[in-house]
Amino acid sequence: DIDHLNLRVQKELVEWLNWLKADIGFDGWRFDFAKGYSADVAKIYIDRSEPSFAVAEIWTSLAYGGDGKPNLNQDQHRQELVNWVDKVGGKGPATTFDFTTKGILNVAVEGELWRLRGTDGKAPGMIGWWPAKAVTFVDNHDTGSTQHMWPFPSDRVMQGYAYILTHPGTPCIFYDHFFDWGLKEEIDRLVSVRTRHGIHSESKLQIIEADADLYLAEIDGKVIVKLGPRYDVGNLIPGGFKGAAHGNDYAVW
């Protein structure tokens, strides 16, 4: 165990981080198991090493109902993520992985896409509150891969990417999905749509429909994404939009 309150430990870790920056060329940090030490300590490391980007892993359980599924309201869960960023310094480079969005998406793509519209009409994860500080993901080395703890439904992974790669927040792509699952071309198409239309972490999201079998949203008035098996949505797509990407139960215009 590391005693992060020990001043010598803090000093040596800061020196190591600055060495990684100056000599090796790293310019961002990932704070593993950030629940294991206070946000005040993380702030010391960030302030004294000045990375261009920092992301924390704050993995806590969602609130579940009697049916074993997540409650619609996950405000307490995403508030914990927001609080960490607030304490570390909201104007700095600190962000957190959006575990709230991950948990809701896991269930939503299994025929419960209504979950993707929160009670306030916005996205139900951290991206609905503070998208500039939310790093979205479908799976990571803990949830997917060999550990397989809380994995995304494997036959619906591309729906997850269609969501995070068109939505606000800072999306990240899981190595396994990109290189080992044969999804590189499909993911690349979505990345190019995001890049081409300038979708960014603070893009404006308008949710058009959120039903059991259909989620439809418009981003920055430039991109429309559809998740779910419902096929006939032509009447909901404004004129002028052309198909840009599609796959199993998702489409992007």
Catalytic residues: 32, 57
Rounded Cα–Cα distance for residues 78 and 128 (Å) = 9
- Sign, CA dihedral 75-78-81-86, equals negative
Cβ(247)–Cβ(186) below 8 Å: yes
Rounded Cα–Cα distance for residues 123 and 126 (Å) = 8
Helix-helix angle 39-49:7-19, to 10 degrees: 40
CA distances from 248 to 15, 44, 102, 231, 242 (A): 48, 45, 19, 11, 18
